[in-house]
Amino acid sequence: MALSKRHPAALFAVLAVALGTTGAAYAAVSAQTTPKAVVLSETQVEQGKQLFLTGCSSCHGLAAQGGSDGPSLLGVGAAAVDFQVGTGRMPLAAPGVQAMPSMPSYNAEETAALAAFIATLGVGPAIPTQEMLDTSDAELALGGELFRTNCAQCHGAAGTGGALSQGRVAPNLMNSDAKYLYEAMVSGPQSMPLFSNQTLTEQDKKDIIAYVEELQKNISPGGATLGRLGPVTEGLFLFIAGLGVLIVAAVWIGAKSK
Amino acid sequence: MSTTEESIMAPEHASAQGKGGSVAYFIDDRLASANFTKRLLDKVFPDHWSFMLGEIALYSFIVLLLSGTYLTLWFNPSMTEVIYNGSYVPLKGVKMSEAFSSTLTISFDVRGGLLIRQIHHWAALFFVAAVSVHLLRVFFTGAFRKPREINWVIGTLLLVLALLEGFSGYSLPDDLLSGTGLRIAQGIIQAIPLVGTYVSMFLFGGEFPGTSIMPRLYSIHILLIPGILLALITVHLIMVFYQKHTQFPGPGRTESNVVGFRLFPIYMAKAGGFFFVVFGITVLIAAFVTINPIWLYGPYTPSQVTAGSQPDWYIGFLDGAVRLMPNLETSLLGHTISWNIIVPALVVPGIMFTALGLYPWIEAWATGDKREHHLLDRPRNAPTRTGLGVMALTFYMILQVAGGNDVIAAAFNLSINSMTWTFRFLLFALPPVAFVITKRICLGLQRRDNDKLLHGYETGRVLRLPSGEFLEIHEPIGEVERAKILAKPDVIPMELPASVDANGVRNPKAAKSVMRAKLSQWFYSDVIPTPTDEELQEAANHAQHELHAAQSHIKEIASH
Amino acid sequence: MNELEHPTSEPYGSKEGKDLVSGITIFPMEPHVPRKSDIDPKAARRAERQVATMFATSSLMIILFVVAYVKIPNTTLITIPVIGTVNANHLATGFAFGMAILLIGIGAIHWAKKLMPDVEVTQERHALTSREEERQEVASSFQRGKAESGFAERKIIRRSLLGALALFPVPLIVLLRDLGPLPGTRLRETIWEKGMHLVTDATYRKIKASDVPLGGLINAVPENLLEIEHEEENLNQRGKASIIVVRMDPADIVSQQGENWDYQGILAFSKICTHLGCPTSLYQQRSHHLLCPCHQSTFDLSDSGNVVFGPAARRMPQLAITVDSEGYLIAQSGFDQPVGPSFWERG
């Protein structure tokens, strides 16, 4: 009621503030997490090697050749390390069906050092530069097409995630940074397949990231989203809230008045 | 009464009858409707909240007709390909069908269009939900018994039609989710032995998806099924009106009367008001909670799919059945029989709805009860029926939950594979357990009822007698509750027939009769008789005595 | 209400406090307890004011609806806690309209509950069975009509009429024939053929074998799909010819549907589920399992695409591939079996 009494301009103002804040917050977050151009300094590689030997080699092997507890890291590239360590998936908290994101165990500097070290072991996808993640020239609609063709089957058309076999999941993308989206596509973490830059070009990836960022704005013209999980939550809501209210009304009508 | 003389004199009396009088006379002069109108206005309906579940369904249907009519003004059910150029930016320039594009137009470019779409969709979910819950009420109270079997069958047909109507509407926007649903429906049709391929080719005008299905579904959705629904709903209501509503037992309620309020003015206000409540709540939900955001799913193309592909809730049990079925397929003489599809998608629902429609006759046959019933059973007083109902509901619910197993698995970090196996097991294990438990609960409640009759209810006040003994004071229950409990109808199980008749000749029909009698005895097994008048009298005397003792004791304490 | 008298069929009625039909005890109606609004004029006036307020507020809401509809542009978004960022016009008009309707309803019910009489009325039921003589009359009327028509005696007329009536719906069915074409071999064929390039879906780029990474997934279609302009055929063919291309370590490949159908560990499979036709591309590169999102059928792509879980009965058809002289992936031939869900004539 209060809302509709406002002058339309007020709504614009609210919108502008909301969008502005979101944008600013976003810019701050991406500035914070996007690393500067990777400089492979000797000391950084050496630091990374030490960190690897103490923290990772027990599973991935002393030469990162892999073992029964962890895959080989030869040629996985810096992108894979940045994704796995940066999102806190590695080191694995406990053996389970799937590494899940958590608080990162290494700080940005240590992560960069680890990535630098692994990158020296074989040619693999690098950490994307700021320019590669700049979606200002992205085609949103094409990104949507590509997202529905390549990503929606696991992550859902709304990017809210989905189930895979044997308790594995395709995670919700609603809070994923552009950098990690990119790194996941090129490195194929856990069950996820790889999407190389030759078959899904850098521009394609930009378009997809732009589309996911659009989804992340969580604009829902029609009202509360119910988690964007589709007809299952809609049906639950209908029975619990909708039919619930109507049955309460029916009980009120049928009750004797005092 | 409308006699000729009165009709002639009508205009003079009109003013005396108030403002509506002249209209009433006008109509009665042509239809002799006075008698009917009087009956209508004076019609008595019993009051109980559960009798309004069917009204929710009726009102949702009216909301559906209204909102649906608005949608037809903008929706274009064509599969002609267009390039979208509306105001929803993330889909600008994308190829899509006119059906999808016009749905986007309704959602983003028509003011209030999204509201109408959401009202329509929420009302559709309400409609089927209310039909289902209304069906459960009718089942568990035994309202389907003679003389209302025909209306029960009409109700079953209404439910099936509601499912078809809902599914055809869900498919119309041609978005990724609905297209996937349609693809599955096409796969099911194609799996029908012998004719499936032909039926599918004819229905879709060739291969899937083709360009014919949307216009065809559209005429099915807005003309054919709503027409039949409207006709059947009308018959359904006329029959309720003509046969008069059932009522719950209570003081003054008998098999031969109806106790309640008159249609005019009480029900005009209450039921009319309830229409506005149902409509208003639907509009408010549509305003505040989004449903089926098709722009997120994108236009349908047969090479794309989204995780969490689900139908609307009422098709969930079918989807669940299809998910749980093991992968059986037979290849025989150059033909393929897909048991994995026809069993869960056609045979199981076929059996479910046939059994549902025939249930009044199944029960009447099993119990031998051919009497008319206008007083409802309290569910506890028909333990076997209640048990059977809960058993069927458990079966349905497992299928329903299995239909959402991927969403549940993702939300609660469970394994789809182990969930599927668990549900396969539970589908057969849980319903019988539910039957036994429900029946036990019903019998327990009956015993408690008898206890209440004999010993009254526990007041919670405890007295300590001089002997050190504790005594809780019981108060006799009120007349209303007494009437309710004592209204438990007598049940008469059929008697086992003699296998030989009086002349010692073997009765050839005996085997069948024995089976039936055993069925009847099973249905009425574990009867807990209501206390006899003598028992009640004795209990009353005892209570009186106890009360006196307690009262004198209290006096004693007070005097100290 | 004057009920019809049916002396011969009297299944109802009561005797000595017992219902004749069910045998249950009949209790007298409970006494009516007056409401507060029945005895206290103040309470009645309060109820009256409440009802009138609701109706008046409803009218206000309608005015609000019209104002919101006209004044708030359809493109305005507004962020509201809990609900999220929504269309302001939608929310305002929906709220006003919904409240307007709801208040009429609540007002009317409140009126009925507080101010209209709440003494329950008893009405007798009328019998739902006709009297026996009436039934007999109907039966004799029917017999008379039957005799007059001669339906029973004139066998020739009866039989020819039944025949004609039996055939009369035939045109109604025949007229449906042109709803669609006969199946023919449509369900058995796709547009894949020998030498056809595999191209990426949505972007239609040829795929170089060396560009497919280990553990990679490409959603692909045949090159000539782009040439099929006619939208109907395009979607129909897309529904059959869509494939996925994956690459795994050749050492991980347990079996294939044909010898050397892969190219250096690159395998191509139909994307259309053999169960009910959903596009199936939830490829899990570690386990090489392919999951269908619709009914969870799971196929092992490292082992001939065999079914390892779920309701699908047949393995996922494999497309034999190789490379052209420039190293781009091409089909060795079309599919060797129908793709997609089963059908009666499939064999």
Chains with ≥3 CB–CB distances under 8 Å to B: A, C
Q: B122 in contact with A at a CB cutoff of 8 Å?
A: yes
Q: Is the pLDDT of residue A23 over 80?
A: no
The least confident of A58-72, B205-219, C54-68, C139-153 is: A58-72
Q: How far apart are CA B349 and CA B167, in angstroms?
A: 15
CB contact under 8 A, A145 and C202: yes
| CB proximity under 8 Å: C 135-174 to B | none
pLDDT, tens digit, for every residue of C15-74? 446 666 566 667 788 888 899 999 999 999 999 999 999 999 999 999 999 999 999 999
Q: C232 in contact with B at a CB cutoff of 8 Å?
A: yes
CB contact under 8 A, A167 and B414: yes
Q: Which residues in chain C have their CB less than 8 angstroms from residue A219's CB?
A: 77, 84-86
Order the strands of the C121-124 sheet from edge to edge: B44-45, B257-262, C121-124
The least confident of A85-99, B124-138, B200-214 is: A85-99
CB contact under 8 A, A11 and C35: no
Both A197 and A250 in a single domain? Answer: no
What pLDDT sits at residue B19? 66
Residue B56's alpha-carbon distances to A97, B63, B233, B237, in angstroms, are: 46, 10, 13, 13
Q: Is residue A150 part of a domain?
A: yes
Instruction: Kindly list the structural domains of chain B, giving each domain's residue range(s) and its CATH number in brackets, ordered by start.
Output: 4-42 (no CATH), 44-377 (1.20.810.10), 441-559 (no CATH)
- State the DSSP code for C122: E
CB contact under 8 A, A232 and B416: no
pLDDT, tens digit, for every residue of B34-84? 999 999 999 999 999 999 999 999 999 999 999 999 999 999 999 999 999
Q: Do A15 and C73 form a contact (C-beta atoms < 8 A)?
A: no
Both A104 and A187 in a single domain? Answer: no
What pLDDT sits at residue C116? 93
| CB proximity under 8 Å: B 492-511 to A | none
What pLDDT sits at residue A257? 84
Q: How far apart are CA B384 and CA B441, in angstroms?
A: 11
Q: Residue A107: how many CB atoms within 10 A of its CB?
A: 9
CB-closest option in B112, B275, B375 to C22: B375
Mean of per-residue pLDDT scores for chain B: 90
What domain range is A24 assigned to?
Answer: 2-32
Q: Is residue A226 part of a domain?
A: no
Helices (H), B15-78: 21-31, 34-42, 53-74
Q: How far apart are CA B161 and CA B357, in angstroms?
A: 13
Q: Do B407 and B307 form a contact (C-beta atoms < 8 A)?
A: no
User: Scanning every residue of chain A, which has its alpha carbon at the shortest distance from the alpha carbon of C299?
Assistant: A165
Q: C21 in contact with A at a CB cutoff of 8 Å?
A: no
Percentage of chain A beyond pLDDT 90 is 54
- State the DSSP code for C150: T
Pairing label, strands C198-200, B257-262: unpaired
CB-closest option in C113, C279, C283 to A257: C113
Q: Do B420 and B404 form a contact (C-beta atoms < 8 A)?
A: no
- State the DSSP code for C272: B
Instruction: Write down the residue that tokens 């996911």 correspond to.
Output: A212
What pLDDT sits at residue B512? 76
CB contact under 8 A, A239 and B313: yes
DSSP assignments along C10-41, one per residue:
----EETTEETTT-PBPPPPPPPPPPHHHH-H
Question: Two tokens at C188?
Answer: 């058995």
Q: Is residue A7 part of a domain?
A: yes
CB-closest option in B52, B288, B418 to A223: B288
For residue A176, the domain's CATH number is: 1.10.760.10
Longest CA pairwise span in chain B (Å):
100
Q: How far apart are CA A113 and CA B442, in angstroms?
A: 69
Instruction: Write down the residue that tokens 């630091």 correspond to.
Output: A47
| ipTM beyond cut 0.85 | yes
What pLDDT sits at residue A6? 47
CB-closest option in A3, A192, A252 to C92: A3
Q: Do B95 and B21 form a contact (C-beta atoms < 8 A)?
A: no
Q: Is residue A252 part of a domain?
A: yes
Q: How far apart are CA B290 and CA A223, in angstroms?
A: 5
What pLDDT sits at residue A24? 52
Both A92 and A171 in a single domain? Answer: no
Residues of chain C with pLDDT under 50: 1-16
Q: How far apart are CA B535 and CA B9, in angstroms?
A: 65
What pLDDT sits at residue A40? 56
User: Scanning every residue of chain B, which has its alpha carbon at the shortest distance from the alpha carbon of A156?
Assistant: B307
Give the number of A-C residue pairs with CB atoms closer than 8 Å: 151
What pLDDT sits at residue B560? 66
Q: Which residues in chain C have their CB less than 8 angstroms from residue B482's CB?
A: 27
Q: Is the pLDDT of residue A3 over 70?
A: no
CB contact under 8 A, A162 and B311: no
Question: Two tokens at C104?
Answer: 């009429």
Q: Which of A124, A157, A175 is the last residue of a domain?
A: A124
Instruction: Write down the residue that tokens 């809780």 correspond to.
Output: B472
Q: B105 in contact with A at a CB cutoff of 8 Å?
A: no
Q: Give phi and psi for B472, each to the nearest 5.
A: -95, 135
Q: Which residues in chain C have their CB less than 8 angstroms from residue B319's CB?
A: 295
Q: Is residue A25 part of a domain?
A: yes
Chains with ≥3 CB–CB distances under 8 Å to A: B, C
Q: Which residues in chain C have their CB less than 8 angstroms from residue A224's CB?
A: 82-84
Q: Residue A10: how many CB atoms within 10 A of its CB?
A: 14
Instruction: Write down the residue that tokens 């309830």 correspond to.
Output: B274
Percentage of chain B beyond pLDDT 90 is 71
Specify the 3-state DSSP secondary structure of B466: coil
Q: How far apart are CA A230 and CA A163, in angstroms?
A: 14
CB-closest option in A18, A225, A257 to C114: A257
Q: How far apart are CA B78 and CA B215, in angstroms?
A: 6
Tell me the average pLDDT across B111-124.
97
Q: Which residues in chain B have their CB less than 8 angstroms from residue C35's CB?
A: none
CB-closest option in C67, C84, C216 to A218: C84
| CB proximity under 8 Å: B 390-449 to C | 405-406, 416-417, 420
User: Scanning every residue of chain C, which has its alpha carbon at the shortest distance from the alpha carbon of B276?
Assistant: C105
For A118-151, give one letter per residue: b (16+ CB within 10 A) or e: bbebeebbbbbeeebbebeebbbbbbbbbbbbbb
CB-closest option in C94, C108, C232 to B283: C94
DSSP assignments along C154-217, one per residue:
-HHHHHHHHHHHHHTTHHHHHTTGGGS---TTGGG--S--TTPBEEETTT--B-BGGGS-TTBE
Task: Provide the shortest C-alpha distance from residue A55 to chain C (in Å).
Answer: 23
Count of structural domains, chain A: 4
What pLDDT sits at residue B126? 97
Q: Is residue A224 part of a domain?
A: no
CB contact under 8 A, C22 and B489: yes
pLDDT, tens digit, for every residue of B166-191? 999 999 999 999 999 999 999 999 99
What pLDDT sits at residue A64? 87
Both A213 and A185 in a single domain? Answer: yes
CB-closest option in B122, B310, B416 to A163: B416
Q: Is the peptide bond before B531 cis (omega within 30 degrees of 0)?
A: no
Q: How far apart are CA A228 and CA A234, in angstroms?
A: 9
CB-closest option in B130, B289, B413 to A223: B289
Q: Which of A94, A124, A154 is the last residue of a domain?
A: A124
Task: Provide the shortest C-alpha distance from residue A43 to chain C (in Å).
Answer: 31
pLDDT, tens digit, for every residue of B493-519? 777 776 666 676 766 667 777 888 888
Q: Is residue A188 part of a domain?
A: yes
What pLDDT sits at residue B302? 94
Q: Is the peptide bond before B147 cis (omega within 30 degrees of 0)?
A: yes
What pLDDT sits at residue B543? 73
Both A189 and A134 in a single domain? Answer: yes
Both A137 and A215 in a single domain? Answer: yes
CB contact under 8 A, C284 and A168: yes
User: Scanning every residue of chain A, which has its alpha carbon at the shortest distance from the alpha carbon of B134?
Assistant: A247
Q: Burial of A250 by CB count in 10 Å (0-12 exposed, 13-18 middle, 19+ buried)?
A: buried
Q: Is residue A225 part of a domain?
A: no
Specify the 3-state DSSP secondary structure of B259: strand
Q: Do B273 and C106 form a contact (C-beta atoms < 8 A)?
A: yes
Question: Two tokens at B258?
Answer: 């109806």
CB contact under 8 A, B298 and A148: yes
Both A20 and A39 in a single domain? Answer: no
Q: How far apart are CA B7 and CA B25, in angstroms?
A: 8
| CB proximity under 8 Å: B 289-328 to A | 289-293, 296-298, 303-313, 316
What pLDDT sits at residue C262? 95
Looking at the DSSP assignment, which residues form a beta bridge with residue C78? Answer: C86
Q: A195 in contact with C at a CB cutoff of 8 Å?
A: yes
Task: Provide the shortest C-alpha distance from residue C237 to chain B (in Å).
Answer: 9
What is the number of alpha carbons within 13 Å of residue B315 lying toward its C-beta? 26
CB-closest option in A5, A15, A162 to C76: A15
Instruction: Write down the residue that tokens 């349905």 correspond to.
Output: B396
Q: How far apart are CA B462 and CA C128, in angstroms?
A: 53
Both A113 and A132 in a single domain? Answer: no
Both A136 and A202 in a single domain? Answer: yes
Both A119 and A132 in a single domain? Answer: no
Q: Residue B5: how many CB atoms within 10 A of its CB?
A: 8
Q: Which residues in chain A have their CB less than 8 angstroms from residue C82's CB?
A: 224
Q: Residue C174: how many CB atoms within 10 A of its CB?
A: 9
Q: Do C306 and C290 form a contact (C-beta atoms < 8 A)?
A: no
> Which pairs count as long-range contacts for B342-348, CB under 8 Å and 24+ apart, including other chains?
B342/B191, B342/B192, B342/B193, B344/B318, B344/C311, B345/B188, B345/B191, B345/B318, B345/B321, B346/B188, B346/B192, B348/B321
